[in-house]
Structure 1
Amino acid sequence: MGIFDIFTPDIQKMRDAGDVRGLAKALGDSNLEIARKAAAALVGLPSSSAVIPLIRSLSSPDKDIRRLSTAALGATGDPHALPAVLEATEDGDLGVRLEAVKALAKFHDPEANLLITRFTADSNLDIRMAAVSALGQTGDPTSIEPLLHLLVDPHYGIREVSAYALDSLGWVPANDRDKAFYFIAKREWRGLFNLQSVAVKVLVWALKDEYYAVRQGAASTLGKLKDLRAVRALVSALSDEESSVRMEVVSALGEIGDLRTVPILVRVLDDDYIGVRMTAASVLDGMGWKPSTENDLILYLLAKERWMDIAVIGKRSTQVLAKRLNDPNYSTRDEVGKILQRLGEHAQEPMLSALKNPDPDVRSRAVWILGNIRTRQAVGPIIRILSDDNPACREEAVRALGKIGDPRAIPFLNRVLGREILLAPVAIRALGQIAHPASVKALMPYLGSADREIRLHTILALGENGDKKISGAIAHAVKDSDPEVRVAAITVISKFPSNEVYALIRAALEDVHPDVRYAALLAISTWQADDTIPLMVRRLEDEDQKICRIAAQALNRRRWQPASLPERRNYLIAMGQWRDLERLDYVNKELQKKESDLACQIVPRGSIMDPVPPLSGSPGERVDGDPTRPEGAGITGEPDSLLALIRTLGDQKEMQALRWRSAEGLGGLGDKRGVEPLIVALFDPDSELRWRAAFSLGLLHDERAIEPLATALRSDDQLTVRVRVAEALGQFKKPVVIRPLIHSLGDVHPDVRDMAIRSLGEIGTESAINAILTGLLDADETVRESVIDTLLKLGAMAGRSLVKNLKNRNPEVKKGVLTVFMRMKPAISFRILVSELENGDWEVRQMVAAALDSLDWQPGDPFQRAIYLFAQRDWRALEAQGKTAEGILIRGTADSDPAIRRASVELLGLIGDRRTIPSLTEVMYDENREVRLSSIKTLLKRQGGESSRLISTLKRNVK
């Protein structure tokens, strides 16, 4: 505290003590900060003794003091303060005016209330909101009338505040109309629904509200009311600018079910927003609509996202698909692009037209498609895109010209190289794809570029060209200053072996950078010359273990035999053959210190390391030893081996390879004491150690590891780790691991999702199978295939879930399920599929019949043939079945599809007897007019008796 701070008023202390007089005095302090704090403190201490100082502070030049003082005056409620507050309503600062309007309500004065009412029409929305809220605090019944008028204000905020203000005044709606506007103001849609037909007119009014949430709620409620009076207004709302509103409107029209709206809903299939299109398709399905034109069919399939079905249509779908290249939904644009690419030359014409589209994204996608089609007719138009204003279009044009590989593009790509540095790598790659001497000539100058990116891409491009003459030009790059450039040069020149190339790559084996040595070793390992063997033997001692392993594998392929004990030792270490390494006397003598831990490790049975035959005297032979010695005896069987493995695993300073082997060894030993150290290793900074620890935890099957494994599956940033964790969880084969595996089905990488599917298959419970079935909707084809493979392995165990999912509304799931059935053993497939011929869903029945056809199934009896023909809708053949078909046709009169109900009625009229009359009579009340008429006609054809009397009494009541 400074020496002068003792004279500073303590505002907080005065406020806590309720010292109104002291605070009033502090209002006039020359320090504005103190004055503001005093005014703020007085707001919470309403007292008439502060009125005069507060009124004086209203003339302060500081707007914050005036604002806080106005609020404090309102808190006092003192009538003497009212004139000053009235004057503050005309202050130049909006904040002061707002506080003044709020304060007026606290005086409970008729004149103040009248002024508040006037402010509800102010030009400023904040003032209006404050005035409306203030009216609710006046407690004056006369405020109700103006608030009622505000329930229909154009602004939703005013309406909402008015409704709550009326609540504060204890207002109760006098009639249903007032209730309807009140519920809309508060957006209480359930209350509006309870008003039924009275609410329709008000809801139609709300469909034009400026706030999209009100329009959306109004549309939804109108749909639930199912009142035909709302149809016209809902149809008009289909042009709403908000996609969410349009989606609710379409859904509402579907709930009302007026068939007159079908042509309008068909047009909605072409809506810009995917949600609206999908809703429209679903609604049309519910109305029994079927596409009558090919254009409608394509739009319907687009809305349903049935991409493969669209591709089947072929060339005729290209024009409609081209319009969707600028769809707001990215996944739709992506899928449309893939289909157009798959259609090949059929898509050429619309894509050439799309190159003139004003949307750069459409132009870019069109170029991409043309490039993948690889049509030479597109070269000229794509070359013109190289001058496009949009950089993404120019880049895609460069890529496309490279894919097409037409030499006419070479001078233009060369020009791009000279003028756009950002496109240089792409242009270089494109030139490399054009196999022509002119492209090689254009690329050569860039081998000496100062930019390492340019040098790198030039070497890779020349390598793609495949011209032998380039090896000499690239050779000097093996000594480039950048290691990545050196790697690229080695990779390219190794394709063109010569003495010079051999010498360069041999020298690269001694490079300081491991990636360069690795590339050189890979190149040499493909050559069969005997003088390469010593070079690979030398690499067995490389400091990089990856290089050691590649050298050992190459030597193994060449059937090399170690010439000395050190060579054998190096080979065994590189190949990870720890059990053979243990048997060497050299290990027992030389590795008794630190490397004894290395010797005690074994590659566990089922190891994730590549299987390599054990080496002793020569590759492929075992060391002669004691034949009575049991498998795994020796160091690995001693109690100290477990402790040694645990110690090595936990030592952060230990060699990485030793820690990796320790993680594997703990899993192979099967001792539960290894679980805790492995759980710790599961979160080690070394990703390689993490996935090996996960694998070993899976081998140990200890439930303590489940939660840590689940955490790693959710949070680890390395793909390999997540894949191995998913695999490890599957080895527990317990329902407790289903939840984390289901969570991983949403992983960004398909490899993780694929392994999760396979692991769920190891569990095999119904919930696991249901989760596996969701993979049928996966975007990745490999994952979908894994789902089918896994379900096939589960066989009959999956039967129940598969049958359930035959009724799934998603066609992709149905198709996947049927694919599984068709690949199962015929006996299983036939039994399950035949039972589903009587499914209540006509689409399922039709797909099941098609599946049975593909399996060359033949009905075993007349009844099976009848239900099979019914599923196929083969009415002529079904008629020939006679009385056998009666039962299935009676059930058909209650089918969800009106076309099936009608056909069933007509066939019963041809083959049915008196027993069918009750069913036909019941259909007279069918919701579908055509079905009702068919029933009447059928009954009228019958002679006399009960049916004639029934018709005479009922036909006049049936429209």
Structure 2
Amino acid sequence: MEKNTNNYYIEKFSNANKLQKIDFLKKINLTKDETTLHFLITCLSDEFWSVRKIAADRIKEYGEAVIPFLSNALNSHNEDIQHWSLQILSEFVPKGFPAILRSMKSSNEEIRYFAAIALGNAKIPQGVTLLLKALGDERWRVRKAASDALVKYGEAVIAPLQQILTLTEDEDIRFWTIKTLGRLGPKAQRFLLEALKNGDKQIRYVIAAALGESGDKRVIKLLIESLADSDWTIRKSATMALAEIGDNAVEMMLEYLAGSNEQIREGCLRALVKAGSKSLQTLFDEIVKMDENRRFLIRNSIVKIGARVVEPLIRLFKLSNPEIQVFAASALGEIGNPRAVPILVTGLSDPNWNVRRSSAYALTEIGERGVDVIADALTSSNDDVRYWVTRILESIGEAGVPYLVRALRDTNREIRYFSAKALGSAFDPTVGRALINAMGDEVWGVRRAAAESLCVIESLPIEELLRHIASDNEDIRHWVNYILKEVGHKYQSRIIEAMRKGDSELRLYACQAAGIIGDKEFIEPLIVSLRDDSEWVRIYSAISLGQIGDKRSFIPLVRCFSDRNTEVHRSVIAAFRRLGDNVVKELINCTESDDDELKRNAAKALAEMEESRGLDHIIMLADDADEKVRVTACEAMSAFPCEKTRAILKKSLEDSSKKVRIAAIKSIGELGSVSDIHILADFLESTKDDLEQRTARRVLSEVALKTPDYFIDMLDSKSSAIKNLAFETLVMAGTDVLARVTEVAAETENQGLAAACKKVIKQIKLPRESMFYA
């Protein structure tokens, strides 16, 4: 192919670079053949704008002959070819206009779009009607292009636009008509201002929405005042219009922020936020300059804007101006966005107390949305921060509880203290267990805070608390007692339930708790517990009844002396002592009862109390018709060593009942005097009953263990029977008396006594078969 010919350039064009393409286009000879023209029209879609521009310029050189070709090119699917074709056609006045006008009616939105642009550039008079109609086009970009094109016509289109506005009901056409009028200068804007003041609701709404590009202060003022319109749609449109006006409206909107109308303040703030970062920064610069009253007025309005003002408020907080920090913290808290948490946490350690308090309140408002980050501040080295964080977590509620519970195990004593104190308002039942454990903390303040929180907690695990009433940790025991005394009465029903249905351990602790609380509501349940299967439950029921000190418990306590457990008896005696002097009188009355069990138990009680006022009544029981009562009377008299009881017991050795005689033997032995020994010695000589003999000898040996000197002296008796009895008793007492017998043998000057002692010693050391061992 020959170089430097059009075909050569066309062939090489597709593989050329940008500069080569420009060079080829400039070198093409305009032979006005269709091949070259079609090639140039194709070049209008090239990837490089400069190539497209040169191709368009070369096409123009063809003159009006290209109009049919460009009209056909409008059917191309390529936007660049459509655009450049219409641009070129607009320069062929007037022969190119029909093609452009026809393009406004195309079904292809791209062609309509570029046609509208071309009409605006060419200002073709016949195009006004088509552009007016295009204001209602189904495509936004066509409507926008038509509006832009009409603005280029200037004031000549004001009248037809006004006419359309009064005739059409199409909202799109209305909107774009007003928007176009708003850009056509003072003459058109006067018309819009009048309509904005006095038009119907629908027209005012569209005008407000369409005036965003107007910079006229009168328009801005009317738009601001429209923010207080009773109709929400008009307020919304005015806000959007002011935002679109942007910087030109900022100054006036800031002035209105000082006004008393809340709707206008809120609308101005929203418009300033929507206007972009520059307007927003201007707003917050102005807030810094405001007095406290003005800042207070606009705070609520700023809060309603929400997340979009969080970053500017954070920047305000960093200014280290206490008044501004308090304002920013309050607003951030009401907005509640967790992005504010880190900066607000820094405020908890601010030197200014108001800043610390406002930051804490703000974090509380944000609450569980930022609880993770808030809880991290528990590790702060700053006391103020730790204090406020625990208060915040407490105020947040359930979401903050797990963090406070974990903080009870923190190595820092202050954190443990603040956490224990804060958990008093929690509802989570697991909190109670954690606080109970915290009562064993090494720090007294933490222990007390935990106990005080348990006193006010809504969900105190009373059963768990009861199980710590006998804790190995004395601190926990102490504070459990404290809690039960303070608030135990609130949990009476649950404690009574534990006494009835709990396991044996829980029943025991519940009985113990009842005594600590001391409420008379526990009397009946405790009386029932006196018959519990567990001896420890019975013991603590008796103890608690004594601690409460109600008369209703007296008879049930007396009946407890039927219990074989001596600890139960001791507990009852302790209870009686707390019940006062009246107890003795009541016990004496019981000895006169028709109830044999009651008589027996009253006698036991008087004996264990060693209450001599009841002795005569016990003696009377020794003659009772009931064998068991006589046995008990004999046993009880052992507590009263005197001639009166000795005589009655000696008489009882002759009772018809062996059980009574055995009881008398034992009680005489308990009295343990020399005369008592002689009474038993005489009885041994008189009785033939094997059991009675064994019992008497065993009792004597027990006396010998307590008072061996009585029997050592009897070794020197003139009565051989007494001597033999003393010898046998000491031998039976065995090694426990050996030291004393050896001592007397060595020291006595009585040779006969010394010999008798040595005989006892020998027998103890080398025992031989005797009647005692037979």
TM-score normalised by structure 2 residue count: 0.34
Q: Greater relative contact order: 1 or 2 (C-alpha under 8 angstroms, separation 6 or more)?
A: 2
- Larger helix share, 1 or 2: 2
- Whichever of the two has the greater Rg, that structure is 2
